[in-house]
Chain A
Amino acid sequence: MPRAWYNTDRARALARRIGTFFGFLFACWILSFLPVVALAFHTVQGSAYQAGALIGRASSRLFAQEDSLSAQLNTCANRLNAAVTLSANSESNAREVQEWRALMGYQSRTSARGVAARVIARDTPEESMVTIDQGANNGIQRGSAVVVGDGVLFGIIDSVSANSANVRLTEDPKSTIPATILGNQTTIGLVTGQEGALLAMEYIPQDTQITVNDIVVTSGLGGRLPQGIVIGTVTNIVPSLSAPFVTASISPVHDPREWNAVFVLPYPENLL
């Protein structure tokens, strides 16, 4: 009679092997509750983990994308761009702060009421017009004077919409501003724009005392502009023996194209 499969030598040997295997694992599990064995096990486990983590970190650094040369170059380029942008923004902000401070100084010095505005658009140099971000809704009126910095004439409001206004700069050839010499109110003329940055003061009577470096300000004649707003300084006088008037070249105190913060003075009749 054949023996059952579990009664063979092979089955017994197999059972011994498997039993030993599971018995060993069970013994390890029981032993792991002993503090000494647990400590030893944790020490070995910790060492293995540290070794794996060390190799893992080293390997990840070796194969990491961010360590490649191109990636480093890209990072440097990005940082450079960011630094340039930051620097440009910083300079722009510093310039704007300077402009607003100058305007605040002018306002506090003259107690002028008006509307602060910011240039939001510039036309072609031929037109010499800019657009500001304040309009009729903010009390801006056509013909109002616009000043920058410490009270230097920037231009005159040419047209007004609800939320913006166009300013005709003093350098525009179509601009005519009644002007006089500071400290010599008898000298009168009309300042007009020229081709280029210089202005011209025309229709100055021949008998008027005018010299180079005289300061030209608005005269207030015509009622459009307040009196005494600085326009520029006299740089050259062109005498004409036959004509009844002389012409003076005026250099603006500031280049109006550099300014972004402006102050719109109220129309003279509103000052009353």
Chain B
Amino acid sequence: MKTGIFLGLLFVVLLLVEQSFLHALFGSIASTPLMIIAGMIIMQRVGIEEGAAWCIALACLSTNIIPLILAGIGPILILQIFTTRSIYALLGFGITSYVVSAGASLIIGAALSLLFGIHILSAHPYINVFTEFLLLIPGLFLGILLVRSVERSIFTRIAFRRST
């Protein structure tokens, strides 16, 4: 239950940071997919189900279908291919899942637009996807470093308490 509340709180805070803080920055940095990065890290570090729930919740808040596809293929990739919890596995998982999700979303968006006239893609979808992809890699790297440092500090405190 604590995990759920913590993830919910983290979701709200990161959403606030992405929507208000990151989007106010200049240039391409404003396109940093913070919530997707967080979802990928949660999916690998916390749990597949939690990560999928994160992505589904994210998909509910936006018209972008990348998180929804990520929620579908992410667990498969983690269970079948990127099974370790290393940084390289996370980067591989992030890059693969994003490429697949973005490609699928572009195909689905183009198909919906051509067949039914429903426009779910942004004005410059390829530029946005490419920019997000370029920012995803350093974002994942920095994110996992941050998570690891937090985990280490927590474990150190717990170990220190037990020893005393």
Contact = CB atoms under 8 A, between A and B. Distances in A.
Interface of A: 14, 16-25, 28, 44-46, 48-53, 55-57, 59-60, 63
B47 to A, nearest CB: 8
Nearest to B46: A17
Nearest to A32: B12
Given A17-B49, A21-B57, A48 B16 contact: yes
Contacts, number: 85
Interface-centre pick from B7, B12, B21, B30 (highest chain A CB count, 10 A): B21
B135 to A, nearest CB: 15
Contact of A49 (B3, B4, B9, B24): B24
Contacts of B57: 21-22, 25
B73 interface: no
Nearest to A21: B4
Contact of A21 (B8, B25, B27): B8
A48 B34 CA distance: 15
Contact of A20 (B5, B26, B49): B5
Interface string B49-77: 11001100100000000000000000000
Interface of B: 1, 3-5, 7-9, 11-12, 16-17, 19-27, 29-30, 47, 49-50, 53-54, 57
A185 to B, nearest CB: 85
Nearest to B8: A24
A53 B49 contact: no
Contacts of B24: 48-53, 55-56
A44 to B, nearest CB: 7
Given A14-B47, A45-B20, 8 more contacts: A17-B50, A20-B8, A21-B3, A21-B7, A25-B8, A48-B17, A49-B20, A59-B29
14 contacts: A17-B4, A17-B7, A17-B49, A19-B4, A21-B8, A28-B8, A46-B20, A48-B20, A52-B22, A56-B30, A59-B25, A59-B29, A60-B26, A63-B26
A17 B3 contact: yes
Nearest to A49: B20
A158 B136 CA distance: 80
Contact of A22 (B1, B3, B53): B53
B6 to A, nearest CB: 9
Given A49-B24, A51-B21, A52-B25, A25 B11 contact: yes
Nearest to A20: B4
Given A56-B26, A59-B26, A60-B26, A25 B12 contact: yes
Contacts of B54: 21
A173 to B, nearest CB: 71
Contact of A57 (B21, B26, B47): B26
Closest 4 A-B residue pairs measured CB to CB? A20-B4, A24-B8, A52-B24, A48-B20
B19 A45 contact: yes
